Amino acid sequence: MSARRRLVAGLSALTLVGTLLGAGVAAGTAASAATGVPAAALAAADEVVETNVALIAEPTVSYVPGWNKASALNDGTEATPDGHGSVWGTYGQFEPQHWAQYDWQWPVTVSRSAVWFWNDANGSANVLSPAAWHLEYKDAAGDFQPVDVATYPIATGTAQVLGPNTVTFTPVTTTALRIVLDAQERGTPDPYYAVAATEWQAWGTGGTEPEEPVDPDAPIAVEDVAVRTLVGQAPSLPDEVWVLPENGPLTYVDATWDPVPAGDVGEIGTAAVVGTAGTVDLSATVHVVADLASPVDEVDHTTTITTPGVAPVCARSVTAWHTDGSADSTTPVTWDAADPADYAEPEQLFVVEGEVAGFAPPVECTVWVIAPVVDEEAPGVVVDVDSAPASSGWYTTAPQVSVRVVEGGAPVESVELRIGDGDWQPYTEPVTVDAQGAVTVAARATDTEDRTGEGTRALKIDTRAPVTGIDHVRGATSATFTLTPTDPEPGAGLSRTLFSYGPSTDPESSENVMWATYDEPFGVSLDADRPVYVHVRSQDLAGNQEETRTVELAATGPLAVTPAAPVLTAPRCVEGEAVDGSLAIPATTGVVYRIGGATVTGTVAVPAGQTVTVVARPATGYTFVGDAQVVSFVVTAAVPDCTPAPRHVEPGTVTVTGTPTVGRRLTATAAGWGPDGVRLAYQWYADGTAVLGGNAPSLVLTPAHAGATITVRATGFGDGLVTASLMSGPVGRVARATFVAPRPTVAGTLKVGSTLTARLGTWQPAPTGVTYRWLADGTTITGATGSTLRLTSKHVGKKIAVAVTGTRAGYTTVTVTSVARTWSLQAGAVTISGTPAVGKTLRADPGTWGPGTVTLRYQWKVNGVAVTGATSRTYTVRGADRGDKVTVTVTGSKTGFPTTSRTSGAVRIR
């Protein structure tokens, strides 16, 4: 809305036009098609730039421990969290899935999101990046729906903060966005790792209360319609009304009115009617009168505007006020002709006189001559970047910049771009910035009036990884390495150089020594039997990492191996007959196996009852560990007894169900045992020791079982069967039971010399051991460990509470604390002495207050209303108090005690 249009609203016609003389507004923009500017650069004036709307959201999470904060997610801290308070984490709740949610009061439209994950993999390794994550948004029905993203990235590396993990998607409009994290599996005792994040961004628009749209073409003033009609008669409203455009002149437009209900004109008075003129809202006042012939008492003057050289237009009717108080804005008026010299120059005003039939005085139309509005604003220029930098604040891939231009007072003629100290170049499409280091990208737009607007964007770009020079000196048993890392300039600078070494060519193999930071030359021991591989890589502060470089250190001698023994598959019985066995020759690198001088591999048949000698010797380039370089393996294939075997119990399964907690019951369930007729016996074990009397299919856990792992052995037996037993999987460890412990209460009166007594309430079950600890203002009272406390002067004014701790075998020890008791002031009975008459002095008697010294304040009141400044112990009665009731309120205060007030009885002033 222009300055002129804002000022017009609500002003009278005279004030309205007076304001118009000095006002200036922006002219409409010309079509971009008429310029040589790329359509991609020319932005609409009302275009909204995407921002991180997470900064104005209210965060909530599924869980957060006391040392972390949900608000860390949108505090603007990404890669450098300031302690645990700048991180949202879930350590303490080891669930498979966690979530965080942003809520907005006003809808947002989101199309991009980025999250930075935090981990302690290099420390205690309790918190790791999630196994997977996804986004959900709340739809119009209030249900959460998945965001359409093909792949959710998870950054890897050795840094504590890994990100940004960025996704883009088809824009969604919502009031809530949720990120769901799937935790990595861990095992026992915690089934899942915790997850954490330092920042979660949501890029889009909205989130603030929408502004009412303003029609730039709307008139600055509209006719205020008034008509007269008789009681019971429908009014005649005008088919046209005048409107006043921003630069004039006044003109008429068609008007449409809502029907007037018969009840609105049923009696003398006024009624409101609304209508429209195109997109303009109209209002009219209907005056319902007894006589339309009531004479005119006065006529309103009118006002209009025009620009130099344009003949002014005055309204063809004016508002006439009749003697009955009613008004009619459709009263015709005849205006004199205006002299062109009067409106030849701007910032002039003159009066045109007119005549209303039946009204003697002339009517005036004040004409204001204004200069046409011209917008002299230069184009607005914004430099946009296609992506966010890494968590270090540096771009590690060359970013692409684009230019957005908002037209000012004239069409844009050209747009130019400059990167760093380079020359200005015409801008036609997004440009990839290949420069390195701190780079300023500038853009400027020039309009047809030769006005120029500029915009800049500062970027930090480092797309080149460091390069590490590797030198080593090899000795008889070790090699010394010297590393020389360099980071290309300009750039972010070197962060660190890492090295690892070991028997594996894979730099990430757990067979190698853990990665270490290079500070000075280091030594590597050589291996006599196999090569050693040294892995090196450097990282810079931007987040670029050099591709790992590997140096191989050859072994110092023959590789030592140990021959594995051949494995015999014994002869077996088939349909009561013995069949040959077989001998599996190991495929051990560096070992040659022979039988009878012939080299053997794979599987060799061994007839039942035959003995075979296998001789092992080292292959060329290998040696056996130890002195012996020839190893013989003698294998005999015993003849099997093919006599039919007795029937055996066929074990099935045995499982344990139930909650492993003291006082609960565990149940053994056996299934799939055979053959038919088999019977089962049970024996329960706690930490591998048989439970006395634990021979039933179920076991009730006692305090003696707390902390133990429980198993059960099922034994199958029966007539003619060979027994078989099977041990269940372990259950537990058995958890201690939990008390149901109410908060204790404190009985007794808070005064010096009295005794307070702690009352436990009813615990389930009752504890076998109880201890007490009395507190004053939250601090333990030395020696106060009994169920009672005798109050002394040291306790006066302090909040007294008691903490009770209960114990019982098999139960978790619990401590509960009572609600603190507070001391109360002893207030005196307040009275007023003195003569209750004008000019006399009244005196407040506060009575006796305690304990000890109490600070007293006074406030005198008349008829319950405080008298300003009347805060002393005495009060001089004013003349204005005669006949009123006077009271005084005394307020006592003392450290450690709640403030207490007492008010006297009222005395009436005579």
Ranges of the chain with pLDDT below 70? 1-48, 79-85, 210-216, 374-375, 391
pLDDT digit string, tens, across residues 834-863: 999 999 999 999 999 988 898 999 999 999
Spatial distance between the Cα atoms of 151 and 144, rounded to a whole number of angstroms? 19
Q: Which of 698, 692, 712, 693 is nearest to 664 (CA)?
A: 698
Within this chain, do residues 432 and 298 fall inside the same structural domain, yes or no?
A: no
Within this chain, do residues 57 and 202 fall inside the same structural domain, yes or no?
A: yes
Strand partners, 244: 221
3-class SS letters over 138-149: ECCCCCEEECCC
Q: What CATH number corresponds to the domain at position 117?
A: 2.60.120.260
Residue 572 near residue 581, CB atoms below 8 Å: yes
Within this chain, do residues 675 and 806 fall inside the same structural domain, yes or no?
A: no
Identify whether 20 is part of a domain: no
Spatial distance between the Cα atoms of 501 and 668, rounded to a whole number of angstroms? 51
Q: Which of 314, 337, 369 is the last residue of a domain?
A: 369
Q: How far is CA 672 from CA 148, 668, 699, in A?
A: 48, 14, 22
Identify whether 299 is part of a domain: yes
Spatial distance between the Cα atoms of 365 and 300, rounded to a whole number of angstroms? 10
Spatial distance between the Cα atoms of 317 and 334, rounded to a whole number of angstroms? 8
Give how many domains the chain has, as a whole number. 8
Q: How far is CA 20 from CA 16, 303, 304, 344, in A?
A: 7, 12, 11, 17
Within this chain, do residues 65 and 170 fall inside the same structural domain, yes or no?
A: yes
Spatial distance between the Cα atoms of 689 and 671, rounded to a whole number of angstroms? 24
Within this chain, do residues 107 and 61 fall inside the same structural domain, yes or no?
A: yes
H or E segment to which residue 8 belongs: helix 3-8
pLDDT digit string, tens, across residues 321-348: 999 999 999 999 999 999 999 999 998 9
The pLDDT of residue 42: 59
3-class SS letters over 472-530: EEECCCEEEEEEEEECCCCCCCEEEEEEEEECCCCCCCCCCCCCEECCCCEEEECCCCC
Spatial distance between the Cα atoms of 144 and 138, rounded to a whole number of angstroms? 4
* Buried/exposed 216-243: b ≥16 CB within 10 Å, e otherwise: eebbbbbbebbbbbeeeeebebbeebbb
Spatial distance between the Cα atoms of 431 and 457, rounded to a whole number of angstroms? 13
Spatial distance between the Cα atoms of 133 and 131, rounded to a whole number of angstroms? 7
Q: Which of 907, 802, 811, 816 is nearest to 863 (CA)?
A: 907
pTM for the whole thing?
0.37
Identify whether 5 is part of a domain: no
DSSP state letter for 14: H
3-state DSSP call for residue 32? helix
Q: Which residues have a Cβ under 8 Å from the Cβ of 741 and sit 6 or more positions away?
A: 761, 763, 806, 814, 816
End-to-end CA distance of the chain: 65
Identify whether 622 is part of a domain: yes
Q: What CATH number corresponds to the domain at position 693?
A: 2.60.40.2700
The pLDDT of residue 212: 59
The pLDDT of residue 279: 86
Torsion, CA 731, CA 734, CA 740, CA 741, rounded to 10: -150
Peptide bond into 372 cis (omega under 30): no
Identify whether 452 is part of a domain: yes
Opening angle at CA 435, ends 433 and 437, nearest 5: 120
Q: Which of 668, 693, 727 is the last residue of a domain?
A: 727
Beta strands 240-244 and 225-230 are: unpaired
Q: Which of 243, 313, 246 is nearest to 281 (CA)?
A: 243
Q: Which of 727, 760, 783 is the last residue of a domain?
A: 727
Q: Which of 580, 563, 676, 565 is nearest to 618 (CA)?
A: 563
The pLDDT of residue 33: 39
Q: What CATH number corresponds to the domain at position 546?
A: 2.60.40.10
Residue 329: domain span:
219-369
Spatial distance between the Cα atoms of 126 and 603, rounded to a whole number of angstroms? 48
Chain Cα centroid distance, residue 476: 59
Beta strands 831-833 and 841-845 are: antiparallel
DSSP E strand stretches across 323-398: 327-332, 334-335, 348-356, 359-369, 380-385
Within this chain, do residues 455 and 487 fall inside the same structural domain, yes or no?
A: no
Within this chain, do residues 294 and 332 fall inside the same structural domain, yes or no?
A: yes
Can you spell out the DSSP letters for 154-205?
Answer: ---SSSSEEEEEEEEEEEEEEEEEEEEEEPPB--SSSSB-B-EEEEEEEEEE
Position 819, amino acid: V
Identify whether 162 is part of a domain: yes
Q: Which residues have a Cβ under 8 Å from the Cβ of 634 and sit 6 or more positions away?
A: 611, 612, 613, 614
Within this chain, do residues 884 and 843 fall inside the same structural domain, yes or no?
A: yes
- How many CA atoms within 13 Å lie on the side-chain side of 731? 25
Spatial distance between the Cα atoms of 386 and 402, rounded to a whole number of angstroms? 8
Identify whether 136 is part of a domain: yes
Within this chain, do residues 575 and 659 fall inside the same structural domain, yes or no?
A: no
The pLDDT of residue 464: 95
Within this chain, do residues 479 and 449 fall inside the same structural domain, yes or no?
A: no
3-state DSSP call for residue 73? helix
* Buried/exposed 472-492: b ≥16 CB within 10 Å, e otherwise: beeeeeebebebebebeeebb
Radius of gyration of the chain (CA): 48
Residue 201 near residue 73, CB atoms below 8 Å: no
Spatial distance between the Cα atoms of 774 and 782, rounded to a whole number of angstroms? 8
* Buried/exposed 710-733: b ≥16 CB within 10 Å, e otherwise: bbbbbbbebeebeebebebeebbe
Within this chain, do residues 685 and 808 fall inside the same structural domain, yes or no?
A: no
DSSP state letter for 294: P
* Buried/exposed 139-171: b ≥16 CB within 10 Å, e otherwise: eeeeebeebeeeebeebeeebbbbbbbbbeeee
Within this chain, do residues 485 and 418 fall inside the same structural domain, yes or no?
A: no
